[in-house]
């Protein structure tokens, strides 16, 4: 399942052979551009992305149900394997959304 907002350059849909593309679960364009895959911004990116994911609870719940029944592979185009949205999304799928401060 592709979890990026943009389709990876140079990869045809036929060659990718993905089951799904969850654009709605990817970071907003504004957040993605602000982050720019800068590792020093990752913790702030993580917090902001989790806040965006709060509005996607039904999609997250459906994805968690799917992951319980089958292997779920999150596909992303970033080169950095430690600082990307799929890392954060996998954490949220595994642990759930953290409680919000002040709520």
Spatial neighbors of 70 by CB under 8 A, at least 6 apart, are none
Query: Which position has the token pair 């590792």?
Result: 39
For the entire predicted model, the pTM comes to 0.90
From the CA atom positions of the chain, what is the Rg in Å?
14
- 11-65 pLDDT, tens digit per residue, is 999 999 999 999 999 999 999 999 999 999 999 999 999 999 999 999 999 999 9
Checking if the pLDDT of 102 tops 60, the result is no
pLDDT at 101: 64
The answer to whether 46 and 88 are in contact (CB under 8 A) is: yes
How many Å apart are CA 12 and CA 64, to the nearest integer? Answer: 27
Query: Can you tell me which residue has the tokens 């992951």?
Result: 67
Nearest of 34, 50, 40 to residue 85 by alpha carbon: 50
């Amino acid at each position: 399942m592709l979890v990026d907002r943009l389709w990876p350059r140079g990869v045809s849909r036929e060659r990718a052979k993905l089951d799904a593309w969850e654009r709605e679960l990817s970071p907003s364009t504004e957040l993605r551009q602000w982050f720019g895959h800068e590792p020093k911004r990752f913790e702030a990116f993580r917090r902001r992305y989790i806040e965006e994911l709060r509005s996607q609870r039904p999609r997250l719940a459906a994805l968690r149900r799917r992951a319980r029944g089958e292997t779920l592979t999150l596909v992303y185009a970033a080169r950095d394997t430690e600082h990307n949205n799929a890392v954060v999304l996998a954490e949220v799928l595994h642990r759930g959304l953290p409680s919000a401060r002040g709520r």
